[in-house]
Structures are given as structure tokens and as C-alpha cells.
Amino acid sequence: MNIKTQKVGLGEKMGYSLGDSAANFVFQLMIIFQLPFYTQAFGITASAAGTILLIARFFDAFVDPMVGILSDRTNTRWGKYRPWVLWTAIPFGLFFYLAFRTPDMAERAKIIYAGITYTLLMSIYSFNNTPYSAILGVMSGDIKERTNISTIRFVFAMSAAFIVQGLTMPMVFKFGDGTDRSAEGWSNAILIYSIAAVIFLVVAALSSKERIKPPANQQTSIKQDIKDILKNRPWVAMFTLTLFVFITLAMWGSAMYYFFNYYMEKDAIFTFLQKFNLVNIAGETHGWWHKVLDAFGLIALEDQSNIFSVGFSFFNMLGMLVQVLGVMFLSQPLAARFGKRNTFIVCLSLTVVFTVVIIFVPAKSVGTMFLINFLRSLAYAPTIPLLWAMMADVADYGELKYNRRATGFVFAGVVFGLKAGLGFGGALCGWIIGAFGFDVNIVPDSTVLLGIRLTGSVFPAITFFIGVLALFTYKITKNYNIEMQAELAERRENE
């Protein structure tokens, strides 16, 4: 099939993109709220929670490659990957809900329950998200189309992130006892996300179309798939990048919850929010944010003791809004002008700089923190859709070099890197603040606060920088990609 005929309609792009909205309900909860949920509402220590997040990675080491292998070998009239998205939609929603339930058990039993439900959620995430991500690699071989699909996909994904980061805590307050420690509030809020996720995944599966087929003479061989992927240097680079990017996102996102709750001064947060008409002198919400929450039937807070929740939600939503705009208006133009690889290197390097300077922010300088987050979000935004578009290029590279295509197996590595990053990042945050003496029932001293600050600045800057180094070994430049697509198009047309 000629690349010029592989155009994808806007309706198909939007329908497909809803699948990543569903994934981001889980993804954003994992990045920002999973560790706080375990320590604040579920009732286990930060160290135990960190260990739970890590243990599931051992199962992922077997589950993720298996999903890639199975999906590559699935043959139905609907394609290889779409059926998996449809088949796993309901289990995805169910395990999502169960992972945020808090049963009335002793602490040891709770830890076992949390470990089982988290592992089940991460497993079904693989069975759903690996084939979903692989669809991008077979929707079109056109470079611009792929970047455009990725851009629209991540606008939808980040819109879901905007909702999760801004409305989760108000929903927890509304459906619980008015605090962030309400088990009932958490489970009811997640139930809403779970139902929406199921609907979005069904729409995504029914909307998308698979256009690129493996070479007609390709032999089925798991051993050869493994050999090919280990020889595929761009895949190794992207796996390393994905692992350390998501370690950073999970560590930084979790740390920011504690950063606002325990380090930033409540009076300073309150004063800053007053400037935006978010709170009044009495500490109750009467500005435009109160009206937004009222429209959803939600509440923000009843007194100033929980002012951090409004400040933290506002912080996340502004950062996410900047990222959405950056994805919409910067990703595609920058990638078209400089290439995906070079754009990623520069933008991620800038993100490292804006992350590390957080260590110097005083507890009273809420405005400075918001400014740094604005710059950090703007620098990081163009990279968001590029990672997945670059992985589709990696699948093409494997087809070009070895005349074999294993799109699902290629993307399985990325999903494993993503989940391993989430687990390690969350675990690192829990272990670090635990090592510095954090206890949810004890007022933190200067040592604990230092641990929280380091986990939100220096440590994530280091892991982000490792991702930058990995990108220098990724050799699919803009010019090479154009040549590669032209050669593959000719080869497919001849077949």
C-alpha cells in the first residue's frame, strides 16, 4: 500500500485517542496519587507502599513480552491489536476500581490485598495498552500522519490528566468525609473513572483501523523476535529513555503531593490562591474555582487546614494546561523542523534544568514554584507525543533491517519500561522519604522535609538526564526516517 493512501480521518484519530484518555485515568492516578493513597487513606507505611509498587515489576517482566507475542500472532478480521483493546475493556475498569478499595483488614492483610490488586491492575494494563499502543504503528506509515495521530492522542490523554489532577481530591472530599484520608471517598471517585475508562476503550477499539501488515513471507518465531529486538539499537535507546522518563514522572509526581502538603507554607499557599479569586479570607472557596466544582456537584475544602489540596490541584491543572497547549502547538512544528530525536533531546534537557532548581525554592515562595512548573511543563510538553511516534519508527526500522515486523512486541517493551518506571519511581519516592523519617502520623522535621525536597528536585533531575543520554544513541534522524519510509513503501507496494 502506498504511503500516500494511508491517510487517517479525523473521526478515527479522535476515536482512537479516547483509548489513551482511559489509560491516563490509571496513569495519572499512579503518578500522583497511588503512593499518597496508600499512606494517607489505605493506612500503610511509605516504605511498604514503595515495595508493593516494585514487586509488580517482576510479574511485568513476564506479562509484557507475552502480551506482545500474543497480539502479534492474533489474526482476526478486525486485525491483530484492536480485539485485545475490546476484550480487556471491562476487566480494565474492574481491576482499576478494586486497586483503590480499602478493605477493613489488619495492616498485613491490607499489604497483601494492595499487592494483589495492584499487580492485577498492572497486568490488565499491559493486555490492554500494549495492543492499543501498537495500533499506532499500523494505522499509517506516513511520518506526518503518525505525528499528527500522536498529537491528537495526547491532547485527549492530557485532557483526562487535567481532570484527574484537578478533580480527584474534590471528588474524594465530596464522596467521603471531607478529608484526603477517606477510603469511601477514594473508591467512589475511582468508580467514576473506571466506568468512563470502559466506555472510552470500547469506542477506541471500534473506531480505529489497522492498515500496515507484516511482510507476506514473515515466519513466526519468538526466538527471532527476541534476537531482532535486542539487535535493534533504536529500540534499546527508546526502552532506556522510557524507563527513566517514567521513573522521573512517578517520583516527581508523588513527591509534589508531599511537597505541597508538608513543605510549602499553608499561609503562603492561601495568600497566593487569593490572588486568583480561588479562596476568600475565611478559607472557603467562593471564586471561579468554587463555581466549577459546584457545576460538578463537588466541594473543595471546608477550612484552611486542607488548603494544600486546592493549591496542589491548581498547580497540577495549570501545569497540565501548559502541556496540552505545548503538545497542540509545539510538538508537530518542532518535530517537522528539527526531527523528533533532536526536539526530544533539547526539550528534555531544558526540563532537567527546571526540575533541579526546585531544590532552591523557599517554603513561602508559592509563586516561584508555580512559575518554575510553568517553564518545566512548557519545556517537557513537546516530548510527550514524540515518544510513541518514535516507537512506531523503531518498528519500521526492524522491518527494514530484518524484513520482519513485530509491532506488538516492540511496543510491549515500551509499556514494560513505562510500568517499570512507574513502579520504580513510586517505590523510590516511598523509600527515600521513608529513609528520611517520614511518618504520616508525625509532624515532619527538617530532615524529613529535606528528603521530600530532594525527591521533588535533584533526584528526578538525575533520572531525566539519563534519558537525555539514551537519546544520543537513537540513530533514526529526520533524514534517515524519510529514506526509511520511502524504501519500506516501495517494498510493501512490490509485495
* 440 domain-assigned: yes
| 381-392: pLDDT as tens digits | 999 989 988 988
pLDDT at 293 (0 to 100): 67
pTM equals 0.83
pLDDT at 196 (0 to 100): 98
Residue 206 above 70 pLDDT?
A: yes
pLDDT at 224 (0 to 100): 85
User: What is the amino acid identity at position 40?
Assistant: Q
pLDDT at 3 (0 to 100): 46
Q: What are the C-alpha distances in Å from 389 to residues 57, 127, 253, 419? A: 25, 20, 24, 18
Instruction: Say if CB 428 and CB 223 are below 8 A apart.
Output: no
* 357 domain-assigned: yes
Q: Looking at residue 188, which CATH number applies to its domain?
A: 1.20.1250.20
Q: Helices in 208-303 by DSSP H: which ranges?
A: 222-231, 233-258, 266-274, 288-295
pLDDT at 173 (0 to 100): 84
How many residues are listed for the chain in this entry?
Answer: 495
* 58 domain-assigned: yes
Residue 310 above 90 pLDDT?
A: no
pLDDT at 273 (0 to 100): 85
Query: For residue 458, which of 259, 278, 310, 262 has the smallest C-alpha distance?
Result: 259
C-beta atoms surrounding 295 within 10 Å: 8
Residue 297 above 70 pLDDT?
A: no
pLDDT at 282 (0 to 100): 54
Where residue 387 falls (left for φ over 0; alpha for ψ -120 to 50; beta otherwise) is alpha
Q: What are the C-alpha distances in Å from 312 to residues 40, 157, 170, 260, 317? A: 16, 20, 11, 6, 9
Q: How confident is the model at residue 237 (pLDDT cuts 50, 70, 90)?
A: very high
| 94-124: pLDDT as tens digits | 999 999 999 999 989 999 999 999 999 999 9
Q: Helices in 176-232 by DSSP H: which ranges?
A: 183-207, 222-231
* 128 domain-assigned: yes
Q: What are the C-alpha distances in Å from 119 to residues 52, 99, 115, 151, 391? A: 9, 9, 6, 30, 25
pLDDT at 115 (0 to 100): 94
Q: Is 344 helix (H, G, I), strand (E, B) or coil?
A: helix
- The mean-pLDDT minimum among 220-234, 287-301, 354-368, 396-410 falls in 287-301
Give the residue numbers spanning the domain of 38: 10-210+221-494
User: Into how many domains does the chain fold?
Assistant: 1
Instruction: Say if CB 275 and CB 311 are below 8 A apart.
Output: no
| 465-492: pLDDT as tens digits | 999 999 999 999 999 999 998 999 888 7
* 5 domain-assigned: no
Q: How confident is the model at residue 180 (pLDDT cuts 50, 70, 90)?
A: confident
| 27-43: pLDDT as tens digits | 999 989 999 999 989 99
* 247 domain-assigned: yes
Instruction: Say if CB 384 and CB 319 are below 8 A apart.
Output: no
Residue 451 above 90 pLDDT?
A: yes
Q: Which helix (H) or strand (E) holds 430?
A: helix 407-435
* 474 domain-assigned: yes
| 121-178: pLDDT as tens digits | 999 999 999 999 999 989 988 888 888 898 899 889 989 998 998 889 888 888 888 7
| 245-271: pLDDT as tens digits | 999 999 999 999 999 999 999 989 988
User: What is the amino acid identity at position 413?
Assistant: G
pLDDT at 226 (0 to 100): 84
b/e map of 261-292 (b: 16 or more CB within 10 Å)? bbbbebebbbebbeeeebbeeebebeeebbee
Residue 6 above 80 pLDDT?
A: no
- The mean-pLDDT minimum among 153-157, 371-375, 461-465 falls in 153-157
* 111 domain-assigned: yes
